[in-house]
Amino acid sequence: MFVYNDTEVINMAIRDRGKIKWAAAYLQPEQAKMQRDLWLETERIRKPIIDEHQAEEFDLRIIYSMEYNHSVKLTVWDDGFIHDINGRVHYVDPITQKLHIKVKPGEFERVAFDNVVGVKVVD
């Protein structure tokens, strides 16, 4: 006959399911995705309206930064959210109406003219 000590008897008597026992209390993945999407919708903002004078000011700052090779901080509106891009203006493409910003050596970002809501020369 084999005798167990007290802790082994207790462990055998309780069949713990581990993390699975909490799975029923958590939301289904579809519900969690819906909540994230709802939160994103409440955080979105409308695109700021840029008048002609502000657009001209942005153009002058971009031209100045290209001529003297200064860094710029672009404030960009992207699908309801505003974020900043820091770098140097590498190229202005008038055909596609996009700015090519050199963020890091060998890494560029393209930003549409219409999405720029702020330009600040850093250097």
Q: Write the pLDDT tens digit of every residue in 35-86.
A: 889 988 899 999 999 999 999 999 999 999 999 999 999 999 998 999 999 9
> Is 57 in the same domain as 35?
no
Residue at 46: amino acid letter: R
Helices in the chain by DSSP H: which ranges? 6-13, 20-23, 29-43, 52-68
> Is 26 in the same domain as 79?
no
What is the Rg, in whole angstroms, of the alpha carbon atoms belonging to the chain? 28
**pTM, two decimal places:** 0.68
> Considering its fold, how many domains does the chain have in total?
2
In a domain, 36, yes or no: yes
> Is 81 in the same domain as 37?
no
Residue 68 maps to which CATH number? Answer: 2.30.30.520
Domain boundaries, position 97: 52-121
CA distances from 32 to 22, 25, 61, 73, 116 (A): 15, 13, 44, 35, 33
> Is 73 in the same domain as 116?
yes
Q: Write the pLDDT tens digit of every residue in 10-22.
A: 555 667 766 666 6
**103-109: long-range contacts at Cβ-Cβ below 8 A with a sequence spacing of 24 or more?**
109/85
In a domain, 1, yes or no: no
